Chain A
Amino acid sequence: MAKKRESTDIQFAIIGSAGDGTIAAGDILKRAMAALGYKVIAFDIYPAEIRGFGKCISRVRVTTEQAYSLKRHSDVLVSLDDSYAIPHVGEVCDYGAVIYEASPIVRQPEGAHITAHIRPTQLPYGLNQREISERATSSARSRNIVILGYLAALYDIDPQAFRKVIAAKFRRKAPVVTTSNTAAFDAAYEVGKRVFKLDQGSLGEPVHADKGETATMMTGNGAIVRGCIDAGLDTFFGYPITPATTILERLAAELPKHGGRVLQTEDEISAISATIGAGYAGARAATATSGPGLALMAEMLGLGVMGEIPSVVFVSQRGGPSTGMPTKTEQSDLNMAVFGGAGDAQRIVLAPTNVDGCYRTAGKAFEMAEQYQTPVIVLMDLYLSNRYETVVPPAKNPFAPNLNKGMDARRGDGAYQRYQRADDHVSPRALPGDEAGMHTVTGLEHNEFGKPSDLPENHMAMSLKRHEKLKAALKHPDFTICKRFGDEGPVDVGILGWGSTFGEILEAMFAAQDEGLRCSAMKVVMLSPLPEQQIAAFMDDCGAVLVPELNYEGQLANLISGALGRPVTRLNRATGAPMQVEEILAEVRRLAQARAA
């Protein structure tokens, strides 16, 4: 057995056509590596079409130290379809491996085979994927499993971990499916054991096992589901839309086991209406959607703001506008989340930056919705929704079960004021059926009793109430609204980020520090209300402030510039793909050099 490396940071990229089993292979790989105790970050890219054509990429980064994003350069590229993999050969690092079908059955013109594109600094491994699969299973369909057997052997990974994951993955299918796929894996493993390794191919010892931690692997959407359940979600209403659909699907499977209910509604308007209705009835209620769905929900969210009704909306952004790019990531719904809708309709908007953050934010969103009687939008994106990370679940449930500020039924004087003015601007809330709690709820502006009123002083007072009560959320217990990382005190460059991009920002910051630059980064989790004080303090320390975002307009940059009246440097990418660490790092270098000059 090859000597184990001390630490591991290796990224696999499996590329194929829809139907090749690319995503399934990546799924097995990441689950096996996580089961062995490695830290894993994984993200899949797939076409909008269901099956038959289109590029699929599954990237899996395996580390022993904490990592925050995928790497631009993979260490291993596996091609299940050269036509899709060839454009990505350049993404393989020097002395990284390229594994490919050595014996394609179709005659190809010059340049169509991947060997034409492998650079001399990269390591080629030809593998008879089809032949091994056919020999082991009488079918070529297990090519994706074949490559896993080969990888396990090449990188000296315990094959039993793969066999267990394969068995678990196909447990609901006929036993022959597991048997044949395991046979394909084993056949390729034997081939891989005999191949000459062109580079040291073993991994370091995993870390979770050492610490006795029970790590699990989740997607952002999976963490949202877990957070919802732990927070005691009662009802969920949803209408499918990529990339939020899996929240609906998983809750449909899991929530009833915990006493909750899930209803798939006929559209997004129904979903938000039912959510607000359930919230009005005192239930913890939520829906999930993407940008186009959020646009449809705008009017009812206004009702939630006006009626001061708790609700939680999970929004996973994708490329827009309109139908846009359903299977590509983007951070371009910040404006709509913060500002979308009629009138001055401020609500709480939270944007977790990683999978663990998705879990915590989901649960805290219900606390905030109840405590501040408002809709709460949790803003993610496809990259965060779909990416896998290993997380260590908390030892005990961190979420408060009920923060509703109930009415005092004992008063019973027949003068219940649903929108009574209070020091904290949060009024006692009667639930349907509460004795002496009869009141009016309407989308019209209203007085303290809930009765329609368009008196100027009333509208002013109620507007103030609806905005002021949210400021308390900036100090919500056990929740990080923003956080600074990196160097303390004055720095050359500070990076402000939000959402899924923050992992890349952190990696860029660490790289900049390694180059001797003084650099800090701040993640802004609460986008509304904006933690202006903390952001301003951070900017005071920064020679230059960079705001990288996956949108064209620079929506966070606009938000901060508008709120604080300070200039920032924008780094905007609207490519449908995650931001590259190197892009951020290059901009940090440029700003630092400009400052030095």
Chain B
Amino acid sequence: MADATHNVIIGNGSAGNGAAITLRERDPDSRITIITMSSLPFYNRYDLPRVFRGCHDWREILVHPPEYYDDNRITLRRNSRVTDVDGRSRSITFAHNEVMHYDQLLVCAGGRGYLPEELSEYYGLMHGFHSFESATTTYRALPKGGTVIMLGGDMIGLDLARTLIDVGYRVMVLANEYTFWPHRIEADERAGFIAALQHMGLEVMDGVRPVAIEEGAAGKPARRVVFEGGDSVDGDVVIPFYGLVPTAEFMLGSGVDIERGLLVDPQLQTTDKHIWAAGDVCQIWSAADNEYRFYYGWTNVRQMGEVAARNVTGADEAFKGVGDERLHVGRDGHIQSPFWEY
């Protein structure tokens, strides 16, 4: 195996795992390594709302049992943060100072929650929902029937909100231009979608601008969100949902072109012939739109991973995203996003 091709995948989400198993199927002799910053094997992030339904053991939301990796001869490197990629020497450097060689690199690092700069100083007073650990921590901070204040309210947050309402929590959405992200809502549609949220049981405050987050007063909920103008609302936890930004900093200096995400052609290859990208981390060239653009959602991301893996192993296949990207209101009065169907 010393001469086997080493395919390295940075990212252990649906794109990375879709790529890994596709690589294994198409290249049985290759070495496959998945690198992730997470402590946990691959779990379905779309399942994270289950934490608020009583699922407190991460084993219950694993997509594959841990033995899956051994069974498929996939090396999983957890708790491993990549700090640097050198395209010329085809090497990766980890935060723990280890250097790893790759023959083909698939970057499926996904994205992380965006936080506007003016709120960054209040990061320590906010809760998270980006991982099992952060979701569980948020759950533990939330008293029964407590109040969740969602800043922004992207589709990740709104998906969570549906569960929170269902299990008896109060949800306040401080709506702004990030509400419904990644969908682009036309101005004349917005009121309808806001009404749908209210129909779902969410309390929506549209047009308010949070400027500060404070500890709650004694005997009051644990947090207070202060608006421009001085008004405020109280809640037990405050979670920002301002959409995602690609996790691509470690690729700076790698030699590949980066705009907001890694720029790839429709075959998902970067400007380095040994580096590919898939998922929320990449912007794909769209001839129709005449721009590099993002594609979101489980179906798109998974498909990207598989397409990239096929192209790594000799195919010449262009990625085709989910056709329908429109947000709509279902017969039950709830908003529905094709991105969140899986």
Nearest A-chain residue to B74, judged by Cβ: A120
In the complex, chain B residues whose CB is within 8 Å of the CB of A489:
none
> A126 — nearest CB in chain B belongs to which residue?
B79
Answer whether residue A115 sits at the interface, using C-beta atoms and an 8 A cutoff. yes
Query: A115-B79, A123-B39 given as contacts; is B95 within 8 A of A103 (CB)?
Result: yes
In this assembly, does B136 line the interface, its C-beta being within 8 Å of a C-beta of chain A? yes
How many A residues touch B, CB cutoff 8 Å? 26
Decide if A104 touches B97 in the complex (CB within 8 Å): yes
B59 → chain A, closest Cβ, in Å? 8
B124 shortest CB reach to chain A, Å:
12
Tell whether A108 is near chain B: CB-to-CB under 8 Å. yes
CA A108 to CA B96, docked complex, whole Å: 9
A123 to chain B, nearest CB (A): 7
Whether B122 is near chain A, meaning CB under 8 Å from some CB there, is no
Which of the 9-residue segments B65-73, B191-199, B248-256 touches chain A?
B65-73
Residue A109, interface by CB 8 Å? yes
* B99 at the binding interface (Cβ < 8 Å): yes
Q: Is A110 in contact with B99, judged by CB distance below 8 angstroms?
A: yes
**CA A118 to CA B75, docked complex, whole Å:** 10
Kindly list chain B residues whose C-beta atoms are within 8 Å of the C-beta of A106.
Answer: 97
B98 located at the interface, meaning its Cβ lies under 8 Å from any Cβ of chain A in the complex: yes
Contact A120 B79 (CB under 8 A): no
Bitwise interface map of B from 19 to 60 toward A, beta carbon under 8 Å scored 1, else 0:
000000000000000000001110000000000000000100
Q: Which B residues between 130 and 147 are near A, CB-CB below 8 angstroms?
A: 133, 136-137
Decide: B78 and A124 in contact? CB cutoff 8 A: yes
- Is A115 a contact partner of B95 (Cβ separation < 8 A)? no
Whether a CB of chain B sits under 8 angstroms from the CB of A446 is: no
Q: Which residue of A94, A116, A198 is within 8 Å of B98 (Cβ)?
A: A116
The minimal Cβ–Cβ distance linking A578 to chain B, given in whole angstroms, is 28
Q: Which residues of A contact B137 (CB under 8 A)?
A: 196
Which residues on A sit within 8 Å (CB–CB) of B322? Answer: none
B residues 84-100 with Cβ under 8 Å of A? 94-100
Within 8 A of B (CB), among A97-118: 101-113, 115-116, 118
Identify the closest chain B residue to A124 (Cβ).
B79
Please state if A198 and B40 are interface contacts (CB–CB under 8 Å). yes
Q: Is the CB of A120 within 8 A of B76?
A: yes
B271 on the A face (CB < 8 A): no
Taking a contact as CB atoms under 8 Å apart, the answer to whether B77 and A115 are in contact is yes
User: Is there a chain A Cβ closer than 8 Å to B299's Cβ?
Assistant: no
How many angstroms between the C-alpha atoms of A123 and B79 in the bound complex? 10
Question: Does the CB pair A113–B133 fall under 8 Å?
Answer: no
Q: Indicate whether B162 reaches chain A with its CB closer than 8 angstroms.
A: no
Within the complex, the shortest CB–CB distance from A323 to chain B, in Å, comes to 39
> Which A residues lie within 8 Å of B67 (CB)?
120-121
Q: Is A119 an interface residue (CB 8 A)?
A: yes
Q: Give A113 Cβ to nearest chain B Cβ, in Å.
A: 4
**Binary flags per residue of A81-107, CB closer than 8 Å to B gives 1, else 0:** 000000000000010000001111111
Q: Are A115 and B80 in contact (CB under 8 A)?
A: yes
CB of A110 within 8 A of CB of B96, answer no
* Contact call B58/A198, Cβ cutoff below 8 A: yes
A113 near B98: Cβ-Cβ < 8 Å: yes
Judging by beta carbons under 8 Å apart, are A110 and B79 in contact?
A: no
Q: Using Cβ atoms and an 8 Å threshold, which residues of chain A touch B75? A: 116
B101 at the interface (CB under 8 A from A): yes
B34 (CB) vs chain A CBs: closest residue = A120
In the bound complex, do residue A118 and residue B78 qualify as a contact, i.e. CB atoms below 8 Å apart? yes
Instruction: Indicate if the CB atoms of A112 and B39 lie closer than 8 Å.
Output: no
The CB with the most chain B CB atoms within 10 A, among A94, A118, A120, A126, is that of A120
**Nearest Cβ on chain A to B210's Cβ, whole angstroms:** 26
Contact status A110-B101, CB under 8 Å: yes
Known A120-B41, A126-B96; contact A102-B79, beta-carbon cutoff 8 A = yes
List the B side residues contacting A107 at CB < 8 Å.
Answer: 97-99
Measured between alpha carbons, how far is A102 from B96 in the docked complex, in Å? 6
B98 touches A119 (CB 8 A): no
Q: Are A105 and B79 in contact (CB under 8 A)?
A: no
> Are B96 and A103 touching (Cβ within 8 A)?
yes
A104 touches B66 (CB 8 A): no
Query: Is B66 a contact of A121 with CB atoms below 8 Å?
Result: yes
Chain B residues, Cβ within 8 Å of A118: 78
Residues on the A chain within 8 Å of B69, using CB: 120
B39 to chain A, nearest CB (A): 6
Question: A118 to nearest B CB, angstroms?
Answer: 7
Does the CB pair A124–B97 fall under 8 Å? no
Separation of A70 and B124 alpha carbons in the complex (Å): 43
Cβ contacts B107-135/A at 8 Å (1 or 0 each):
00000000000000000000000000100
Closest B residue to A103 by CB, please name it.
B96
Instruction: Please name all residues of chain A whose beta carbon is closer than 8 Å to the beta carbon of B99 when the two chains form the complex.
Output: 107-110
Shortest CB-to-CB span from A153 to chain B, Å, is 16
* Contacting pair B70 A120 (CB below 8 A): yes
Residues of B within 8 A of A109 (CB): 98-99
Closest A-chain residue to B91, C-beta based?
A110
Hey, which chain A residues are within 8 Å of B94, CB to CB?
A: 113, 115
Q: Please give, as numbers and ranges, the residues of chain A lying within 8 Å of B79 by CB-CB distance.
A: 102, 115, 124-126
Contact A103-B97, Cβ < 8 Å, known A115-B77, A116-B77, A124-B79 = yes
Min Cβ gap A358→B in Å is 42
Q: Mark B298-335, 1 if CB is under 8 A from A, else 0.
A: 00000000000000000000000000000000000000
Q: Complex Cα distance A121/B66, Å?
A: 5
Chain B residues, CB < 8 A from A110 = 98-101
Interface centre among B75, B97, B98, B101 (most CB of A within 10 A): B98
Shortest Cβ distance from residue B34 to the other chain A in the assembled complex, whole angstroms: 10
Distance in angstroms from A276 CB to nearest chain B CB is: 60
Contact between B97 and A105 (Cβ–Cβ < 8 Å)? yes
Partner of B97, one of A108, A116, A121: A108
Look across to chain B and name the residue whose beta carbon is closest to the beta carbon of A122.
Answer: B66
Chain B residues within an 8 Å CB radius of A119: 66, 70
Complex Cα distance, B94 from A102, in Å, reads 10
B8 to chain A, nearest CB (A): 10
Inside 8 A of A94's CB, which chain B residues have their CB? 66
**Contact between chains at A198 and B39 (CB < 8 Å):** yes
Instruction: Give 19 A-B contacts (CB < 8 Å), ordered by A residue.
Output: A94-B66, A104-B97, A107-B99, A108-B96, A109-B98, A110-B99, A110-B100, A112-B98, A115-B79, A115-B98, A116-B75, A116-B77, A118-B78, A119-B66, A120-B41, A120-B66, A120-B67, A121-B66, A125-B79
Residues of B within 8 A of A (CB): 39-41, 58, 66-70, 75-80, 94-101, 133, 136-137
Binding site for B on A (CB under 8 A): 94, 101-113, 115-116, 118-121, 123-126, 196, 198
Q: Name 17 extra pairs, CB < 8 A, besides A109-B98, A196-B39.
A: A101-B96, A103-B95, A106-B97, A107-B98, A108-B97, A110-B100, A112-B98, A113-B96, A115-B96, A119-B66, A120-B41, A124-B78, A125-B39, A125-B79, A196-B133, A196-B136, A198-B40
